[in-house]
Amino acid sequence: MHRDLSLLGVEQVVIDLGDRSYCIDIAAGLLDRADAFSGLPSASAAMIVTNETVAPIYLERLRGSLAPHYRTVLHVVLPDGESFKTWDTLNLIFDALLGAACDRKTVLFALGGGVVGDVTGFAAAAFMRGVPFVQVPTTLLAQVDSSVGGKTAINHPLGKNMIGAFYQPQRVLCDLATLDTLPERELSAGLAEVIKYGPIADMAFLDWIERNMGALRKRDPQALAHAVKRSCQIKAEVVGQDERESGLRAILNFGHTFGHAIEAGMGYGAWLHGEAVGCGMVMATRLSARMGLVDNAFVERIKAVVEAAGLPVHAPVLDGADNVGRYLSLMKLDKKSEAGEIRFVLVDGSGRALMKGAPDAVVGEVIVESCVA
């Protein structure tokens, strides 16, 4: 699992999960380096899964680097967007695999953002009851979060990521140079998940993000490299202790209880995942304040850093007639809910997060305040 790429300028973060351990390799230009793809499970065929936006930019380059390792390099191009994180899209992958008579050793390569990564991972978990897969994330969000940790899923109209599996990749290859072509709105969306790691785990990292927000938004290579590496280190530390979210891992869901309600309530794709999480973190911090865990200055701090990332901080109205009711009913379906009680990830202002229920009335006040503030 530990390949010596250190001389070649590749940063490595290890996800320590016993026999499911793997490396996250981080460097600019990895996509074009065949040596970065050595040491993976042997197979006669590889299948690159990507989408119609990413394929024209990166598909042939990845194919070139895989060619020395596999007799056949196949590909399937999915439609682009959160609204396509569905059964139908999943089936396109199975159609391609079966249509090419792929066997159970075939290695899937997820080339793209979090949507491609989540759908490909789920396909890998299910095809012939499990084939190896590799994450090649090309968005900031995917490099700092979604490619790492083995959560794979598709959406249901009633809730985000409701159908899926925990299934770890064999490796994650973050080519920082792919971030050069990312639209600005997507870069901001990725910054939401970077910001998340500060209040839940590392206040010094939050300080660093605040100081370096300008550099990050200008895509300064060193700033982005640090943001990706530190985010992956924090996620590796959490996932290494609680792979299947029996407790600690839920802290990675900070901002997501409100955020997922926004995504589902607005219709998948209207708000980007990172935008909903950014706004959701402001709402969860407001709730933390109402539960006596942080002061208003901390709420303003989180709001300011989310806004500085270019993300929305005003929550959308999901239902003009009963907005609070609509938020609450969507959030009651959240995967962290227990016996119908919503459990929120709250923060205490010192770099720690905790899970807590809250009275509907208090949550309602936060929703009202966030939709007009």
Ligand X SMILES: NC(=O)c1ccc[n+]([C@@H]2O[C@H](COP(=O)([O-])OP(=O)(O)OC[C@H]3O[C@@H](n4cnc5c(N)ncnc54)[C@H](O)[C@@H]3O)[C@@H](O)[C@H]2O)c1
Ligand Y SMILES: O=C(O)C(=O)C[C@@H](O)[C@H](O)[C@H](O)COP(=O)(O)O
Task: Name the residues that contact ligand X, by CB under 6 A.
Answer: 51, 53-54, 57, 80, 82, 85, 112-116, 118, 138-139, 141-142, 145-146, 149, 151, 160-161, 178, 181-182, 186, 189, 273-274
Nearer to ligand X, 45 or 124 (CB): 124
- Say how many residues touch ligand Y, by CB under 6 A: 12
Q: Which of 151, 230, 303, 343 is catalytic?
A: 151
Question: Is residue 301 close enough to count as binding ligand Y by CB under 6 A?
Answer: no
| Sequence letter at residue 211 | R
The interface partner of residue 335, options being ligand Y, ligand X, none and the CB cut-off 5 to 8 Å by kind, is: ligand Y
The interface partner of residue 141, options being ligand Y, ligand X, none and the CB cut-off 5 to 8 Å by kind, is: ligand X
Answer for the pair 336, 257: CB distance below 8 angstroms, yes or no. Answer: yes
| Binding site as annotated, residues for NAD(+) | 80-85, 114-118, 138-139, 151, 160, 178-181
User: In degrees to the nearest 10, what's the CA dihedral of 171, 172, 178, 181?
Assistant: 130
User: Which among 72-80, 98-106, 249-257, 299-307 is the span making contact with ligand Y, rule CB under 6 A?
Assistant: 249-257
309's torsion region: left (phi>0), alpha (psi -120 to 50) or beta?
alpha
The interface partner of residue 86, options being ligand X, ligand Y, none and the CB cut-off 5 to 8 Å by kind, is: none
User: Which among 7-15, 251-259, 282-290, 300-308 is the span making contact with ligand Y, rule CB under 6 A?
Assistant: 251-259
136's torsion region: left (phi>0), alpha (psi -120 to 50) or beta?
beta
Q: Report the C-alpha gap between 131 and 149 in whole angstroms.
A: 17
Q: Which of 193, 243, 263, 275 is catalytic?
A: 193
Q: Shortest Cβ distance from residue 228 to ligand X (Å)?
A: 13
Q: Which residues does 358 contact at the CB level (< 8 Å), separation at least 6?
A: 287, 290, 291, 342, 344
Told to judge if 237 belongs to the known catalytic residues of this protein, a careful annotator would answer no
37 exposed, middle or buried (CB, 10 Å; 0-12, 13-18, 19+)? Answer: buried
Q: Report the C-alpha gap between 359 and 355 in whole angstroms.
A: 14
Q: Which residues does 111 contact at the CB level (< 8 Å), separation at least 6?
A: 48, 49, 50, 54, 58, 59, 62, 136, 138
Q: Shortest Cβ distance from residue 161 to ligand X (Å)?
A: 6
* Token representation of residue 267: 């219709």
Nearer to ligand X, 40 or 182 (CB): 182
CA distances for 245 relative to 242, 249, 251, 272, 335, angstroms: 6, 5, 9, 24, 10
* Token representation of residue 72: 């056949």
Told to judge if 235 belongs to the known catalytic residues of this protein, a careful annotator would answer yes
Nearer to ligand Y, 25 or 245 (CB): 245
Nearer to ligand X, 151 or 286 (CB): 151
Q: Which of 273, 301, 303, 343 is catalytic?
A: 273
Which residue is nearest to ligand X, using beta carbons? Answer: 114
Relative orientation angle of helices 296-308 and 184-201, to the nearest 10 degrees: 150
Told to judge if 245 belongs to the known catalytic residues of this protein, a careful annotator would answer yes
Answer for the pair 16, 236: CB distance below 8 angstroms, yes or no. Answer: yes
Question: Is residue 253 close enough to count as binding ligand Y by CB under 6 A?
Answer: yes
The interface partner of residue 143, options being ligand Y, ligand X, none and the CB cut-off 5 to 8 Å by kind, is: none
Q: Which of 171, 229, 249, 303 is catalytic?
A: 249
In sequence order, the β-bridge partners of residue 345 are 355
Q: Which residues does 211 contact at the CB level (< 8 Å), separation at least 6?
A: none
Nearer to ligand Y, 256 or 303 (CB): 256
Selected binder of ligand Y within 175, 193, 202, 243 (CB under 6 A): 193
| Binding site as annotated, residues | 80-85, 114-118, 138-139, 151, 160, 178-181, 193, 256, 273
Answer for the pair 161, 153: CB distance below 8 angstroms, yes or no. Answer: yes
- Contact pattern for ligand Y over residues 136 through 165, marking x by CB under 6 A: ---------x---x-x--------xx----
In sequence order, the β-bridge partners of residue 357 are 343
Told to judge if 256 belongs to the known catalytic residues of this protein, a careful annotator would answer yes
Which of the residues are catalytic?
129, 151, 193, 235, 245, 249, 253, 256, 260, 273
Binding site for ligand Y (CB under 6 A): 145, 149, 151, 160-161, 193, 245, 249, 252-253, 256, 335
